[in-house]
Amino acid sequence: MGCFTFIKVMMILFNLAIFLGGGTLLGVGIWVSLDGESFLDIFGALSSSVLQVVNVGYFLIVIGAILLVIGFLGCCGAQKESKCLLMMFFSVVLIIFIAEVAAAVVALVYTGLAETLLTAVVTPLLKEKYGTDDDFSHIWNITMSEVHCCGLNNYTDFTDSPWYKQEGTYPGPCCEDLKPCNATVAAESKVPGCFDQILKEIRTNAGVVGGVAAGIAALEIAAMAVSMYLYCQLDQK
């Protein structure tokens, strides 16, 4: 088996695994979106704190769809020896790589900007959905209980939310489960926001996070290099 054939087969198998993984994540994402409460009952204790802050179902659907596209382009491009598909695969992976680098720079260098962007998105959702959307409320209750935090920034994120309007109090974790959890008790409890707590956890496990990020980046660079190798070799066939 020549070098070209070996790399072609490895490219097909690698992207087939990505395709199947993307399909699995897409299916799980649809399940979470349709029946999120049962999913969280099973996996809530094991799920990542970061993933609990965002809508897990939509997150998995987006990631699954992206992996499906990447896997399809890479697998079919290598199998059919299509320069067009290989170039599309290279372009998609390159765009994702650049986006990840940009996101990492924003997260590491412009933490304040990242917090501002999250606040602009998440805080309105808390004021709109917490107390009416059962899945959304359940996700945040798990997050606040496990991470020992309150809201994205602090307890004021829940002011004017459906829960506050109906109960006249803030969620229990905002007052360390002291009752009644009114504004006075919440202010005295000084429970930190989930954004700060998650940042603290990430910094505590910086080695693990950095290792995972480096591994993903290495795989993406390797995938781009292999696709470009196959692309160039096709010109010589």
Q: Where in the chain are the domains?
A: 1-109+207-237, 124-204
pLDDT of residue 114: 67
Neighbouring CB atoms inside 10 A of 105's CB total 10
pLDDT of residue 174: 92
Residue from 51, 54, 99, 36 nearest 201 by CA = 51
Tokens of 164: 């506050």
| 47: helix, strand or coil | coil
Q: Which CATH number fits domain 124-204: 1.10.510, 3.40.50, 1.10.1450, 1.10.760?
A: 1.10.1450
Residue from 194, 70, 106, 91 nearest 143 by CA = 194
pLDDT digits (tens, 9 = 90+) for 59-98: 778 888 888 999 899 888 888 888 898 899 999 999 988 9
pLDDT digits (tens, 9 = 90+) for 148-206: 889 888 999 999 899 999 988 999 999 988 888 999 999 998 899 888 887 777 677 66
pLDDT of 106 over the 60 cut: yes
Which of residues 228 and 201 earns the better pLDDT score?
Answer: 228
| Alpha-carbon gap, residue 136 to 56, rounded angstroms | 10
CA 139, 213, 77 angle in degrees (round to 5)? 100
pLDDT of 55 over the 70 cut: no
234 within 8 A of 80, measured Cβ to Cβ: no
